[in-house]
């Protein structure tokens, strides 16, 4: 049976270091500030924004939660982003995805001050990830996955990492991050997606298999070789009449059967999710430090 990679425990370790750094910044008269902007009332987005705001407060950050109506126009949202760009008490800005249809998300991301883009989606930060510039911001989920692997003493260097999914949020930046030269990198990376041929053959050759496709229980034991490390990024709602909410959360990996073959595996929930929030906090503190 696989070892469980405990994302909550590793996130706690990150917070111990962050608390120390935040105390130091406060002693210099600066409190790192994070603004999270939510447009509309998508329930999943609302829950994400709530937990980001809660964590910021717990760490003693200056936390601003901006909730805008679903009918907010592009111009109104841009004006709010500009205000936050200019606000010296705010070091990190995040506009929760997905926004309502009338909003051009890419244009909003481009309007962010890249020095405050703690989600790492601004083109300038994407370029910095490609060129491995240390002052850029890496998207929180890939950064959290890399940290999970490092803290779990899983050898990334020289390993064959297969990533299922090529989104701008997870798959693509993760591939760039793990193939970088040096600590936490040096992997041989393969990215597979919905058009890939021989998907099972490729995933079975992975030393580390990372699933980020948004399909509940897609990865079965046949996709995995004995002794592989499995990271499950998926967060999927599956109908469940026995649950009070009427659904439960499932990952992209059929946990029970895959855990029998794997050397280590992340659970859902309690794996990648807590690390994503921890990296958002870490990026905010980094932004504050760099803006001093």
d(CA 22, CA 31): 7
d(CA 54, CA 65): 10
Backbone angles phi, psi at 253, to 5 degrees: -115, 135
Identify which of residues 115 and 251 has a Cβ nearer to ligand NAP in the complex: 251
Q: Is 251 helix (H, G, I), strand (E, B) or coil?
A: coil
Q: 50: Cβ–Cβ under 8 A, 6 or more apart, which residues?
A: none
Q: Give the rounded distance of the alpha carbon of 290 from its chain centre.
A: 21
**Residue in the shown chain whose Cβ atom is closest to ligand NAP:** 167
Write out the E strands in 135-279.
160-164, 188-192, 208-211, 229-232, 236-239, 247-250, 264-265
Q: What minimum distance in Å lies between the beta carbon of 172 and ligand NAP?
A: 9
Going from the C-alpha of 8 to that of each of 38, 199, 278, the distances in angstroms are 25, 31, 9
In terms of phi and psi (left: phi > 0; alpha: psi -120 to 50; beta: otherwise), the region of 283 is alpha
Going from the C-alpha of 283 to that of each of 13, 110, 174, 240, 242, the distances in angstroms are 15, 18, 16, 36, 39
Identify which of residues 143 and 156 has a Cβ nearer to ligand NAP in the complex: 143
Catalytically annotated residues: 52, 96, 119
Q: What minimum distance in Å lies between the beta carbon of 169 and ligand NAP?
A: 4
Identify which of residues 30 and 164 has a Cβ nearer to ligand NAP in the complex: 164
Identify which of residues 64 and 199 has a Cβ nearer to ligand NAP in the complex: 199
Q: Give the rounded distance of the alpha carbon of 163 from its chain centre.
A: 15
In the complex, the residues that contact ligand NAP under the rule CB under 6 A are: 141, 164-167, 169-171, 193-195, 212-215, 233-236, 272-273, 276
Q: What minimum distance in Å lies between the beta carbon of 173 and ligand NAP?
A: 10
Going from the C-alpha of 70 to that of each of 35, 76, 91, 142, 228, the distances in angstroms are 18, 12, 25, 29, 44
Q: What minimum distance in Å lies between the beta carbon of 171 and ligand NAP?
A: 6
Q: What minimum distance in Å lies between the beta carbon of 236 and ligand NAP?
A: 5
Going from the C-alpha of 51 to that of each of 44, 45, 65, 118, 276, the distances in angstroms are 11, 10, 11, 16, 11
The neighbour count for residue 28, using CB atoms within 10 Å, is 7
Q: What minimum distance in Å lies between the beta carbon of 73 and ligand NAP?
A: 25
């Amino acid at each position: 049976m696989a070892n469980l990679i405990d994302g909550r425990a590793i996130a706690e370790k990150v917070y111990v270091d962050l608390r120390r750094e935040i105390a130091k910044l406060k002693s210099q008269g600066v409190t790192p500030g994070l603004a999270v902007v939510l447009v509309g009332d998508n329930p999943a987005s609302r829950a994400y924004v709530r937990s980001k705001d809660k964590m910021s407060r717990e760490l003693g950050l200056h936390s601003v939660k901006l909730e805008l109506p679903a009918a907010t126009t592009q111009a109104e949202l841009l004006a709010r982003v500009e205000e936050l760009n200019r606000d010296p008490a705010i070091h990190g800005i995040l506009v929760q995805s997905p926004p309502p249809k009338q909003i051009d998300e890419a244009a909003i991301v481009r309007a962010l001050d890249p020095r405050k883009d703690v989600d790492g989606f601004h083109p300038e930060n994407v370029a910095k990830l490609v060129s491995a510039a240390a002052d850029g911001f890496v998207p929180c989920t890939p950064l959290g996955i890399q940290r999970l692997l490092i803290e779990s003493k899983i050898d990334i260097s020289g390993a064959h990492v297969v990533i299922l999914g090529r989104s701008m949020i997870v798959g693509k930046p993760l591939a760039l991050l793990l193939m970088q030269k040096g600590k936490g990198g040096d992997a041989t990376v393969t990215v597979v997606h919905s058009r890939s041929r021989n998907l099972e053959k490729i995933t079975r050759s992975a030393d580390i298999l990372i699933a980020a496709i948004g399909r509940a229980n897609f990865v079965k034991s046949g996709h995995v070789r004995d002794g592989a490390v499995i990271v499950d990024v998926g967060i999927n709602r599956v109908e469940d009449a026995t649950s009070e909410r009427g659904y439960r959360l499932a990952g992209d990996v059929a946990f029970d059967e895959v855990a029998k073959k794997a050397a280590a595996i992340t659970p859902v929930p309690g794996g990648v999710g807590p690390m994503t929030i921890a990296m958002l906090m870490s990026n905010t503190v980094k932004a504050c430090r760099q803006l001093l």
